[in-house]
Amino acid sequence: MWEGDINLKFTRYIADLTGKEHPRLCYLPTASGDNPDNIRFWGSICNALKIDTLVMNVWVSASPDNQSFEDILLNSDAIVVGGGNTLNMIGIWKAQGIDKILKKALNKGIILSGGSAGSICWFEKGISDSRPTSISAVEGLGLLPYSNCPHYSQKERQDLFHKLIGNKKIHSGYAFDERAGILFVNGKAKEFVTQSDKHHLYHVFLKGKQLEIEKLEAKIVVSKNAIPEGEYQTTEVEKKLSEIAPDGKSTPLSAYVTSKKFLKAKSHS
């Protein structure tokens, strides 16, 4: 689960979890009302990752040519749920029986994933802007026995999450900044990941009567073929770029360099 809407890095992370060279990732844009712009963006991600574009729309008219929701979902390797209105999405899923199919998918070992509304939906309850006038707690499918607060950097969400846990209105749970996520295996948090050192994850719980907020140590998700953590050194150069460039001349790079830290890969020879 992660806390922004769909993006390339986390989709690659999900694809890698399947262990398949050509995984079938099914995108559910229900929370955005099957928004065509979101679907096109999903297509661009799939193209970049060189995987087939698979989308399950719920705004469809009956036809003998249609696949059933069950056929689509249970023949996927992973399911990716997009962001939007959590409350409306859960209502549609229950009306269409999709909630029961997703539980079958979990029992079958299909990876369930998503961001924002697509994260809240797997938990017991989550902090959402699904209602028209105020942030509130909404029910998810309860596949994970915790509460969830996406977009935790927004103070209104943060305050309500703390209040509801403190008052025992919702269970203890996990809070996510944008671009941070958690891998759960068999209902337990196994790995904490982030796309930068500025986006964090938290475990929020009661210890006696005291609310505790534990910042979780996360590894940074990097693009494939990037230099991994621990495989580089940092050095303080203490010089201007013009002093380092050949012949002391400025280069186009000077428009982008703002730090005096340079990375040097360790030798693998």
Catalytic residues: 116, 151
Residues paired with residue 212 on neighbouring β-strands, in sequence order? 205
* CA trace torsion 170, 84, 195, 217 (10° rounding): 0
Residues paired with residue 25 on neighbouring β-strands, in sequence order? 78
Q: Taking a C-beta distance cutoff of 8 angstroms, is the pair 164, 206 a contact? A: no
Q: Taking a C-beta distance cutoff of 8 angstroms, is the pair 95, 82 a contact? A: no
**Token code pair at residue 220:** 């940074």
Question: What residues contact 142, with CB distance under 8 A and at least 6 apart?
Answer: 123, 124
Residues paired with residue 263 on neighbouring β-strands, in sequence order? 234
CA atoms within 13 Å, Cβ hemisphere of 107:
6
